[in-house]
Amino acid sequence: MIPYGKQSISQTDIDAVVEVLKSDWLTQGPKVPEFETSVTNYCKAEFGVAVNSATSALHIACLALEVGSNDIVWTSPISFVASANCALYCGATVDFVDIDLDTGNMSVNELEKKLILAKQNNCLPKVVIPVHLAGQSCDMKAIHQLATHYGVKIIEDASHAIGGKYLDKPIGCCEFSDICVFSFHPVKIITSAEGGMAVTNNQELAKRLRKLRSHGITSDPTEMTEPSHGPWYYQQVELGFNYRMTDLHAALGISQLSKVDEFVNQRHFLAQIYDTHLDLNLIRPLQQNNTCYSAYHLYIVQLTDSDIEQHKNVITQLRAAGIIGHLHYIPIHLQPYYKAMGFSAGDFPNAEKYYQRAITLPLHPTLQDHEVHLVINTLHQILN
How many residues would you count in the chain? 384
| Cis ω before 338 (30° cut-off from 0) | no
Which of the ranges 15-23, 156-164, 226-234, 276-284 carries the binding residues for ligand PLP, by CB under 6 A?
156-164
Asked if 82 is part of the footprint of ligand PLP (rule: CB under 6 A), the reply reads: yes
Q: Residues binding ligand PLP: what is the number (CB under 6 A)?
A: 14
Which segment (80-88, 249-257, 318-326, 375-383) binds ligand PLP by CB under 6 A? 80-88
Nearest CB to ligand PLP, comparing residues 131 and 199:
131
Cβ at position 15, least distance to ligand PLP in Å: 24
Please report which helix (H) or strand (E) contains residue 292, including its range. strand 292-293
Binding to ligand PLP (CB under 6 A): which residues in 86-105?
none
Q: How many Cβ atoms sit within 10 Å of the Cβ of residue 51?
A: 31
Decide if 379 contacts 2 (C-beta within 8 A): no
Q: How far apart are CA 248 and CA 255, in angstroms?
A: 11
* Residue selected from 35, 42, 47, 80 as contacting ligand PLP according to rule CB under 6 A: 80
Contact status: 196 vs ligand PLP (CB under 6 A): yes
Give the distance from CA 307 to its chain's centroid.
30
Position 157 contacts ligand PLP (CB under 6 A): yes
Residue ranges of alpha helices (H) inside 65-186 are: 82-89, 108-120, 140-150
Smallest distance, Å, CB 277 to ligand PLP?
27
Say how far apart CA 317 and CA 353 lie, in whole Å: 21
Letters for 170-189 (x = contact with ligand PLP by CB under 6 A, - = none) are: -------------x-x----
Instruction: Output 124 or 197, the one with its CB closest to ligand PLP.
Output: 197
Binding to ligand PLP by residue 351, rule CB under 6 A?
Answer: no
Secondary-structure breakdown of the chain: helix, strand, coil percentages, each rounded to the nearest 5: 40, 15, 40
Contacting positions for ligand PLP (CB under 6 A): 53-55, 79-80, 82-83, 131, 157, 159-160, 183, 185, 196
